Amino acid sequence: MLNITLDPDSAIVTLEPHGTLSEEDFRRAGAAVDPFIELHGGLRGMIIHVHSFPGWDSFSAMISHLSFVQQHHRKVKRIAVASDSNLGNLAEAIGSHLVAAEIRPFGFDQLEDAKRWILAG
């Protein structure tokens, strides 16, 4: 299950995975952010808030995840990964070569710091 919270005032979407990710999770994420992106041209930021990466429930879920990233990365200015795992550091190291957005890791309890960083950009 993926909790998706879009704050239209700040133009930040927060994604909080709970359990393994499914194809449906990424369909719902697209349905939540695509109308906003279409209307405003993009998002100021995205926060991935998770203790540790839960993985996918299937190969097709992984493909859906990669497709979601490919379709949206040019429309998000900054991505904050608030996690207690190495997910944030890995995303920063690898993502900087694969996505247009600036990526920065934060601790799981640093959600407000992540929001402030996005808003300062």
**Mind listing the pLDDT tens digit for each residue in 14-38?**
999 999 999 999 999 999 999 999 9
Question: Coil, helix or strand for 32?
Answer: helix
What average pLDDT does range 55-69 have in this prediction?
A: 90
CA dist., res. 116 & res. 30, Å (int):
24
Residue predicted with more confidence, 72 or 14: 14
Domains of the chain: 2-120 (3.30.750)
Instruction: State residue 98's pLDDT score.
Output: 59
- Mean pLDDT across the chain: 89
Contact 7, 40 (CB under 8 A): no
State the pLDDT at residue 73: 82
Tokens of 11: 């133009």
